[in-house]
Amino acid sequence: MAKAELTKRTVTFLKNVSIICGSLLVVIALVSNLLGFSISEGFSWNQLVIVLIGIVLILGGIAGRRFPVFYKGFALLLLNTAVVLILLDLASLFIVKLWNPEHIQILELKMEAGLQSPIAEERMSWGRYEPYVVWRADTSLYFEDEIDPDGFRITPVSNSDSNAYKVFVFGGSTVWGTGVPDSSTIPSYLCELLQSSVSGPVEVRNFGQLGYVSTQEMIELCFQLRSDNVPDLVLFLDGMNDVAAAYESGIPGTHQNYPLVRARVESRLEDLGLESTFPHPLLQLFHRSNFSTLLSLANSGRGNDGNQSEVVNYLTLGADTDSLSFNVARIMFANYDFIEHLSEQYVFDVLFFIQPSVWTGSKALTEEEISFALGESRFFAVGADSAWKPILIKSYDWFETISNGESDVKSLTAIFDDVDFQIYTDFTGVHLTAEGNMLVAQEMYDVLISRSILPVIPDSI
């Protein structure tokens, strides 16, 4: 009898504990925003899960000894729901394959590219946060590239002797060397060329960073000079990223991903619709289901072609092509003027190069390069946006016009005009093959030699 009474007391105690714990979880989830426990505004998915757990504990406490029956019924309901969803997904796959089998591949490519969101490009991770320059390469994001602790790519053949002729090369991902090994970057090839003619050891530092614009490069150079790391020669390769940043934001002279970074600082993530940009894993699972594909196909049959939302660019943001392109060039060359003043103060030589792209120059494009230019890539369809080429071409026209009066600026837009093999490697239209990087390095070297900038060994030219 005592054992039975103890069991009843234990059950009552457990019921009360379950109800109290469940109630506490529900209350905490509901007031977590007020208590500062939530990391985001509004009712998050985590809070919803906590509420559901709390409700289950409360129902379990109320059910008491009937909880096993309640649990079995609930589990059976979940199992039946899962079976129905699986059968629905299989049926959807069968219908789509009969209706339009190509639609599956199209949606898969869009999901891989993340093109469901108009600001998909802003989801790209450039690296770790870095004061003033905003980001710098993170070693955890690069597996094949060798990076030093400061986030700069290694130039394998470089000599770091204290008496070495020191060269800094600045630029975006083209200078970084996206898609090629460490030994095939522009700085690496340039270092080999310099070592064959310069008297003494040569150190070439690759300061290229993904997405960097000329202003970020100028700031990075200031950091190096401030730390008393003064070079003998500084080279810049720019153009594309300064234009791309203005294209996406409508603002000249800003860095890439400006709308997203600004919204994060101002706590306005919801203004950018980031709920769709960073969907919950359950939503991602749904979007990859065959049922979601069937719904998309049904929508396309009602006049919605299933394409991505309207692209956000400088035109949709109210900017003017002519004035924006002029100011892109004006700011980039104002940065160059400032850097030239630095070169006089710190006594180093400096040259600026305007980088080529698949949309500039007169190169005979290969079939794959044509697809890049037309924006047919599944990863980055900027070439398909009618607003892209006008801002790029007009900005480059201004680059050419202004550089004609600048002795320290050299345009490389025509460097591949006589090349009939593939040079551009991907959707960006500026990343180069190893052969392309070698040609750029050779042109830089030839300009340096022609201007007698280098301390060359006699008879080495």
Give pLDDT, residue 336.
97
Residues contacting 296, CB < 8 A, separation 6+: 103, 107, 306
Q: Take residue 28 and report the two structure tokens written for it.
A: 């905490």
pLDDT tens for 423-453 read: 999 888 999 999 999 999 999 999 999 999 9
Same domain, 326 and 446: yes
Assess if residue 118 is contained within a domain.
no
Tell me, yes or no, whether 189 lies in a domain. Answer: yes
| Domain C-terminal end among 80, 95, 110 | 95
Co-location of 337 and 439 in the same domain: yes
Q: If DSSP codes are grouped into helix, strand and coil, which group holds residue 256?
A: coil
Out of 53, 80, 95, a domain closes at: 95
Cα 30 from chain centre: 36
Same domain assignment for residues 254 and 399 = yes
- Range of lowest pLDDT (44-48, 72-76, 125-129): 44-48
What number is the average pLDDT over the span 197-201? Answer: 90
Task: Say if residue 73 is in the same domain as residue 146.
Answer: no
Has residue 142 been placed in a domain?
A: yes
pLDDT at position 411 over 90: yes
**Residue-averaged pLDDT of the chain:** 82
Give pLDDT tens digits for 293-308. 777 667 655 544 444 4
Give residue 225's pLDDT: 98
More confident residue, 293 or 183: 183
pTM score, two decimals? 0.70
Find the mean pLDDT for residues 92-103.
Answer: 68
Q: Is 148 in the same domain as 220?
A: yes
* Band of residue 75 on the pLDDT scale cut at 50, 70, 90: confident
Q: Residue for token digits 């919950």?
A: 280
What is the CA 359 to chain-centroid distance, rounded? Answer: 21
Q: What pLDDT was estimated at residue 141?
A: 61
What's the Cα-to-Cα distance from 287 to each of 104, 282, 292, rounded to whole Å?
A: 12, 9, 5
The number of beta carbons lying within 10 Å of the beta carbon of residue 23 is 15
What gap in Å lies between CA 55 and CA 354, rounded to an integer? 63
Question: Quick one: 346 and 443 in the same domain?
Answer: yes
Question: What's the rounded mean pLDDT across residues 101-105?
Answer: 55
Closest CA to 350 of 405, 407, 414, 411: 407
User: 140 and 62: one domain?
Assistant: no
Report yes or no on 302 lying in a domain.
no
Rounded to an integer, the average pLDDT of 345-358 is 97
| 323 and 434 belong to one structural domain | yes
pLDDT of 67 reads 64
pLDDT tens figures, 236-245: 999 999 999 9
* Same domain membership, residue 344 and residue 430: yes
Domain holding 71, by residue range, is: 2-95
286 is a domain residue: no
Q: pLDDT tens digit string along 109-158? A: 444 444 333 343 334 456 888 999 999 988 766 555 688 888 999 999 99
**What is the DSSP annotation of 81-100?**
HHHHHHHHHHHHHHHHHHH-
Residues 214 and 250 in one domain: yes
pLDDT of 168 > 90? The answer is yes
Q: In the prediction, which pLDDT does 351 show?
A: 97
* CATH number of the structural domain spanning residue 417: 3.40.50.1110
- Identify the domain boundary among 57, 79, 95: 95
More confident residue, 94 or 244: 244
For the ranges 64-68, 224-228, 277-281, the lowest mean pLDDT is seen at 277-281
- Of the pLDDT bands very low, low, confident and very high (cuts 50, 70, 90), residue 271 is low
Identify the CA nearest to 115 among candidates 336, 356, 385. Answer: 385
pLDDT of residue 276: 43
Rounded Cα gap, residues 179 and 426, in angstroms:
9
pLDDT at 138: 81
Is 455 a residue whose pLDDT tops 60? yes
Question: Are residue 330 and residue 425 in the same domain, yes or no?
Answer: yes
| Domain annotation covers residue 292 | no
Range among 217-226, 312-321, 380-389, 420-429 rated most confident? 217-226
Q: Are residues 363 and 437 in the same domain?
A: yes
Q: Is residue 90 domain-resident?
A: yes
Residue 131 falls within a domain, yes or no?
yes
Indicate the number of domains in the chain.
2
